[in-house]
């Protein structure tokens, strides 16, 4: 494999007809094998301080019986983990999430009509679609978190989707434990819970997390509402604040600082008339490229809500947020100008190079500067540095979590379609938000990196002192590996081939005290 440095990146654009995404479609095909504690062999010594477990959520099975999913985000969840005991060894496991949705589907050898984003092929009947609409989302294939239960003194590992319901799992074996549908605080009968976030954020200075739930009004003339929630444990929740909204807007994530939760509602709306007519969520989603983003600032201590607006765009993954001495909140996120990154998740498109290459999937790293004195928002876009044309076009961001809620410089993420020709040409990039001087990239031809996780070195001396973990897929060899990348140089430290081909993953976390 040939790894390119920033100096050689100019060569990316000299061959516009070359294909650099061989085998890409294999990321979106089933692998039904399960493995527990398979010893991996790395090609170089692991850092002596690396100890803990890296767990990733993601996709596993794309069909059951005669039916198949048509959108990648609807596929059955599968977890993968890498245990580092701290003695130079590593053990790999991967198992399906045995949700009610999965179990019923396997038992009947057919995809059970539960609520999903798009649909199946052959399609459900209208009766089945409407029946699914009355149920809760049950497929948790997006993220994994850990909540602390102060009452039992236990850590609770949970997997999530963009819904209120979740599943508890046993992290060492990846065993599915139980579904949890916690009571929503102060939820009136005339409202129906429709959305939450797969990205709860820790509440600074506590063992709690901040979450939200959007509830649809069932009575005409009554506005919908968003509740801001404090998660004290898997089952223990309390309301911090509530604000009313005229439209149901999709929010995948949000930002938190020492004193505030910040919600950016992009103009990606649910058309309720279409939803009730079609019983298909995807057909009911509409994006406006002219409406502003509605911004809601919520004080965590008082519940006070302040409403603002900012320019049009689609935000999916917030990077970090912090407060300054100048009464400002700095909030960073990749911003899209369209919904191509959602539309391209149709499996038939992902399997067809000609079709997937038609999509513009660029997101620009953007800083929102919220002035708490004037309640206004300024915008700064991190355009590309002159020597590296991909570092400002990343999503699936990760940072050194020791800098969460603080001023920071470095963000790492995945850049797609880096030559503006081949969608499946991915790179893992490092963006310097403090001056562009250390933008770097990890890139290998025909190799797709996934969302990385930054593991800081204990007693590290700088923000980028640690390792990046990323599962990669080699489209030529049709195999996955786990790589360790030096964040300072963006060069590979060590790599180990997995015993099976893994489908695409979504989000994950590293737990330093779990091994």
- The structural domains of the chain, ordered by start, are 6-511 (2.130.10.10)
The pLDDT value given to residue 193: 87
d(CA 6, CA 441): 6
| Other beta carbons less than 10 A from residue 180's beta carbon | 15
385 strand-pairing partners: 388
Closest CA to 105 of 143, 144, 71, 60: 60
d(CA 447, CA 470): 12
| 3 state DSSP class of 295 | strand
Give the torsion sign (CA, 67, 502, 346, 399): positive
Phi, psi angles (nearest 5°) of residue 77: -70, 145
Upstream peptide bond of 331 is cis (omega within 30 degrees of 0): no
Q: What are the mean pLDDT values of the chain's consecutive 10-residue runs (515 residues total)?
A: 41 51 95 97 97 98 98 97 97 98 98 95 94 92 96 95 97 97 87 93 97 93 95 96 96 97 97 88 93 98 97 97 96 96 96 95 95 96 71 95 98 94 94 88 96 97 97 97 98 98 97 95
The pLDDT value given to residue 271: 92
Angle at 447 between CA 445 and CA 448, to 5 degrees: 130
| Other beta carbons less than 10 A from residue 277's beta carbon | 11
d(CA 346, CA 357): 13
Contacts of 28 (CB under 8 A, 6+ apart): 59, 62, 72, 347, 350, 351, 503, 504
The pLDDT value given to residue 133: 87
- Tokens read off for 428: 């893992």
The pLDDT value given to residue 12: 42
The pLDDT value given to residue 293: 98
| 3 state DSSP class of 457 | coil
Helix (H) or strand (E) holding 76: strand 76-84
**147 CA to centre of own chain:** 18
Give the torsion sign (CA, 395, 399, 404, 405): negative
Q: What's the N-to-C CA distance of the chain in angstroms?
A: 31
Angle at 93 between CA 89 and CA 97, to 5 degrees: 155
The pLDDT value given to residue 389: 65
The pLDDT value given to residue 192: 87
322 strand-pairing partners: 330
| Other beta carbons less than 10 A from residue 514's beta carbon | 18
pTM assigned to the model? 0.94
């Amino acid at each position: 494999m040939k790894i390119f440095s920033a100096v050689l990146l100019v060569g990316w654009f000299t061959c516009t007809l070359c294909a650099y995404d061989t085998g890409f479609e294999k990321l979106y095909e089933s692998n039904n094998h399960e493995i527990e504690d398979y010893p991996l062999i790395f090609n170089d010594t692991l850092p002596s301080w690396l100890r803990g477990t890296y767990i990733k959520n993601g996709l596993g099975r794309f069909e059951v019986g005669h039916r198949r999913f048509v959108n990648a985000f609807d596929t059955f969840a599968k977890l993968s983990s890498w245990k580092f005991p701290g003695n130079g060894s590593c053990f790999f496991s991967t198992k399906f999430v045995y949700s009610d949705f999965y179990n019923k589907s396997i038992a009947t050898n057919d995809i059970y009509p539960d609520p999903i984003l798009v649909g199946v092929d052959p399609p459900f009947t209208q009766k089945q679609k409407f029946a699914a609409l009355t149920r809760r989302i049950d497929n948790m294939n997006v993220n994994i978190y850990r909540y602390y239960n102060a009452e039992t003194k236990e850590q609770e590992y949970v997997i999530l989707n963009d819904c209120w319901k979740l599943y508890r799992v046993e992290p060492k074996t990846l065993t599915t434990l139980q579904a949890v549908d916690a009571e929503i605080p102060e939820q009136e009968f005339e409202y129906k819970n429709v959305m939450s976030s797969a990205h709860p954020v820790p509440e600074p200075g506590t063992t709690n997390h901040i979450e939200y739930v959007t509830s649809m009004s069932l009575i005409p003339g009554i506005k919908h509402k968003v509740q801001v929630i404090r998660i004290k444990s898997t089952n223990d929740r309390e309301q911090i604040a509530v604000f009313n909204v005229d439209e149901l807007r999709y929010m995948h994530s949000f930002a938190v600082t020492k004193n505030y939760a910040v919600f950016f509602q992009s103009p990606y709306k649910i058309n309720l008339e279409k939803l009730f007519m079609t019983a298909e969520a995807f057909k009911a989603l509409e994006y406006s490229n002219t409406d502003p983003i509605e911004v809601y600032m919520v004080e965590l201590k008082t519940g006070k809500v302040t409403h603002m607006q900012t320019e049009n765009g689609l935000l999916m993954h917030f990077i970090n947020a912090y407060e300054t001495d100048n009464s400002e909140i700095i909030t960073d996120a990749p911003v899209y100008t369209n919904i191509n990154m959602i539309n391209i998740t149709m499996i038939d498109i992902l399997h067809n190079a000609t079709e997937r290459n038609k999509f513009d999937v660029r997101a620009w790293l953007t800083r929102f500067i919220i002035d708490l004195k004037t309640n206004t928002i300024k915008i700064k876009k991190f355009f590309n540095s002159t020597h590296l044309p991909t570092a400002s076009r990343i999503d699936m961001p990760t940072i050194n979590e020791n800098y969460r809620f603080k001023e920071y410089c470095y963000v790492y993420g995945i850049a797609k379609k880096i030559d503006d020709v081949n969608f499946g040409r991915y790179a893992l990039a490092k963006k310097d938000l403090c001056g562009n001087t250390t933008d770097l990239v990890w890139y290998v031809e025909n190799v797709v990196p996934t969302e990385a996780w930054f593991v800081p070195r204990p007693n590290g001396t700088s923000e980028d002192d640690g390792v990046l973990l990323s599962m990669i897929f080699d489209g030529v060899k049709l195999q996955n590996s786990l790589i360790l990348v030096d964040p300072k140089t963006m060069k590979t430290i060590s790599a180990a081939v997995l015993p099976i081909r893994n489908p695409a993953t979504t989000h994950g976390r590293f737990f330093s005290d779990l091994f």
